[in-house]
Structure 1
């Protein structure tokens, strides 16, 4: 299939706000990719590209290499296979001279692309298509293309860890094959995510009582798969980081079970018994080369909060109360996340106060009757922090002045429109930034620059930052109709994608919207 067919579909999807229309455009393109006249791998590549990603998890292509592009081609000739083959070759490059070869490969590919295709390809590289077709909508289109129940497609994609894999199975073997998909040890599933609440009473009301309440650890989310003597560790984005956490592999290997699937958090505990900052943990897991060379100084430990499989028994659809009971039977207490069963709001509040005082990030209040909602942000889990925090997109920054002259400082923050996927600006902040962060973000913004005014540099793709706020207020200054109150940067989140930016609805719903005496940032 020609890449241009996907480009026109993406443009059609981006041009409408109707979910039904988006689904129709996607279904037509996916259906065409499954035609017997198309190469066997067409549907996998088409679904992958329409979901906004490349098949290769890492290509080594950076923003700088795409800051200037060759003149576009006049006519579309690229196929989806051409694109995939090129990036497969580029991703495999390594060693001396590989950077130059990678740049040459990128230039050759983009020289064969039309202007519209160049924009589309750049969006794929940075997972930033901006078409409003998130993975969930592509699943909707896939179900429509084959007249399959959407729930069956969604569940299979979650368990297979890939909508494209589900598409291939559906196209080749039919709906019954999707219905038969279950949890497979060794294949990571998309993790269950938590909704938010502003205070313990609201969290308890959402989850119901009694509830299981976990300490919320500020570390690296991992899914652990063990089969026999093989242990693999996956991040929330399903990247394999096994070689970066040898001590975790060793701890799981020592357990007396053949098959396990665990969900947990990797954290570091300092000599004082308090958890180490997230930045220390993130830097520790940043490179397998440091681990191999013995340059790491931060020992990390696994704390498990969910068990999905043990020795032939799938627990994915069991209520949390059952999963929790089995987990305490098969895992040592030292590997379990701190947890209580709360019967009252007062017990939730007391535990929340205790764990925050101990240096943890907050708590997660969980409904004991809830199954594991793989890949979804579900009300069965409610996260609660001592401050309101959101993951927002940084879409631009203004030049600083005074002591910050020469740095890009005041950040433009945006949430995601839950219907279209577009980014909607709702505030600015220059607070919480150290000199080191200012230097780093200025370099990043300039590398991602797409346009600028006298005072502001706009970037694409955006960065993702965790932002703390005191609330929101009504405002006509920003397109979202609200403005953030006292926003401040906690950290950048390079472990999260644009799809994980919080929605505008979530920002508005978390805290009370107050009338503004005057629009302020």
Structure 2
């Protein structure tokens, strides 16, 4: 990416390894979708044309090595001091220092402002924590709002491994304007062993067709699903799919007519449909 190369050449150090990411903003200064950025990475078209279509900016949030000196075991305060020395503020991630639990209001204000800017959440880092590659742990937590939907189970897939003999991967649908159910995606996340046993029995009772590993069922079972957001998809009829969907609980107190609608879902995520 030429933008990343240009930014790196402007930094003050000669040799460094930084942690960061690239973001793309729309005309209103709000983040564009991950899919658009991913399209830049995998694009085989002219690089200049791709950069003009979806310009990106690097944002750096940690320093791992500077001039051959390993910083991984240093506390975050010292690593950030090195980052601030190397990287000008526009290229550093926004941050707020919170002194402790009594300063929760400042953290909540910062989170609210971040969400209002169109970002999905914040990362909370302990000031005394070293850098742990590949894992966050208790000293590095991602905080973001959790969305939930009441959806209808349209089908399920027989599981593999420890889930052999259990109906596991759920096909999930929301109510469409014509009264049918539009599939939004699949999930096998969040299920306990007891839930797997119960849903296998219940979905077997509702089965109307079995094609290979997929069992189609009557759309009568409502399930509460947590998810992190929407993304565009040409695979599903509503043009979107759920990100990181997982089961919360079954809603036997609700009928399919009370499930959430595609219209409501899209209205809640205007950033995806713009």
Coarse TM-score class (shorter-chain normalised): 0.5 to 0.7
- After TM superposition, the structure 1 = structure 2 runs for residues 243-258 of structure 1, keeping only pairs within 5 Å, are 245-258=1-14
> 2:28 corresponds to which residue?
272
**Per-residue CA shift, 1:396-446, capped at 9, x if unaligned?**
xx9xxxxxxxxxxx57599999xx79998364313499xxxxxxx9xxxxx
Task: Assess if the C-alpha contact under 8 Å between 1:466 and 1:490 holds in 2.
Answer: no
Give the match's secondary structure for 2:127. coil
Runs of 4+ in structure 1 off by over 3 angstroms are 292-296, 410-417, 420-424, 471-475, 486-489, 513-521
> 1:430 corresponds to which residue?
173
* Structure 2 unaligned regions, length at least 5: 177-182, 202-221, 234-242, 260-274
| Equivalent of 2:133 in 365, 370, 374 | 374
- Identify if the C-alpha distance between structure 1 residues 387 and 261 changes in structure 2 by more than 3 Å, giving closer, same or farther: same
What TM-score results when the alignment is normalised by the length of structure 1? 0.34
Task: Assess if the C-alpha contact under 8 Å between 1:428 and 1:487 holds in 2.
Answer: no
> 2:113 corresponds to which residue?
354
Mapped to 2, the partners of 1:368 and 1:414 lie a distance apart of: 46
- Structure with bigger strand share is 2
What TM-score results when the alignment is normalised by the length of structure 2? 0.60
Task: Assess if the C-alpha contact under 8 Å between 1:477 and 1:519 holds in 2.
Answer: no
**Per-residue CA shift, 1:454-500, capped at 9, x if unaligned?**
xxxxxxxxxxx798x9x989842159xxx95145672389xxxxxxx
> 1:365 corresponds to which residue?
124
Task: Assess if the C-alpha contact under 8 Å between 2:43 and 2:50 holds in 1.
Answer: no
| Equivalent of 1:491 in 207, 218, 231 | 231
**Per-residue CA shift, 1:317-354, capped at 9, x if unaligned?**
11112111221122100110111112322222111111
- Identify if the C-alpha distance between structure 1 residues 246 and 427 changes in structure 2 by more than 3 Å, giving closer, same or farther: same
- Identify if the C-alpha distance between structure 1 residues 314 and 302 changes in structure 2 by more than 3 Å, giving closer, same or farther: same
Give the match's secondary structure for 2:134. coil
- After TM superposition, the structure 1 = structure 2 runs for residues 62-141 of structure 1, keeping only pairs within 5 Å, are none
TM-superposed CA distance for 1:289, in Å, is 3.1
> 1:303 corresponds to which residue?
59
Mapped to 2, the partners of 1:415 and 1:308 lie a distance apart of: 41
| Equivalent of 1:318 in 47, 64, 74 | 74
Give the match's secondary structure for 1:252. helix
Task: Assess if the C-alpha contact under 8 Å between 2:123 and 2:143 holds in 1.
Answer: yes
> 1:232 corresponds to which residue?
none
Mapped to 2, the partners of 1:416 and 1:371 lie a distance apart of: 38
TM-superposed CA distance for 1:514, in Å, is 6.0
> 1:477 corresponds to which residue?
199
Mapped to 2, the partners of 1:277 and 1:386 lie a distance apart of: 17
TM-superposed CA distance for 1:279, in Å, is 2.5
Task: Assess if the C-alpha contact under 8 Å between 1:268 and 1:298 holds in 2.
Answer: yes
Task: Assess if the C-alpha contact under 8 Å between 1:367 and 1:381 holds in 2.
Answer: yes
| Equivalent of 2:46 in 279, 290, 295 | 290
Of stretches 423-432 and 249-258 in structure 1, the one that deviates more from structure 2 is: 423-432
Task: Assess if the C-alpha contact under 8 Å between 1:263 and 1:304 holds in 2.
Answer: yes
- Identify if the C-alpha distance between structure 1 residues 369 and 425 changes in structure 2 by more than 3 Å, giving closer, same or farther: farther
Mapped to 2, the partners of 1:262 and 1:421 lie a distance apart of: 41
**Per-residue CA shift, 1:222-272, capped at 9, x if unaligned?**
xxxxxxxxxxxxxxxxxxxxxxx1111111022221111111110012232
Task: Assess if the C-alpha contact under 8 Å between 2:18 and 2:64 holds in 1.
Answer: yes
* Structure 1 unaligned regions, length at least 5: 1-244, 390-397, 399-409, 434-440, 442-464, 494-500
TM-superposed CA distance for 1:293, in Å, is 5.6
Task: Assess if the C-alpha contact under 8 Å between 1:426 and 1:478 holds in 2.
Answer: no
Mapped to 2, the partners of 1:477 and 1:305 lie a distance apart of: 43
TM-superposed CA distance for 1:364, in Å, is 1.0
Mapped to 2, the partners of 1:279 and 1:376 lie a distance apart of: 24
Mapped to 1, the partners of 2:111 and 2:130 lie a distance apart of: 24
Give the match's secondary structure for 2:96. strand
Mapped to 2, the partners of 1:347 and 1:515 lie a distance apart of: 37
Mapped to 1, the partners of 2:2 and 2:186 lie a distance apart of: 28
- Structure with bigger helix share is 1
Task: Assess if the C-alpha contact under 8 Å between 1:309 and 1:315 holds in 2.
Answer: yes
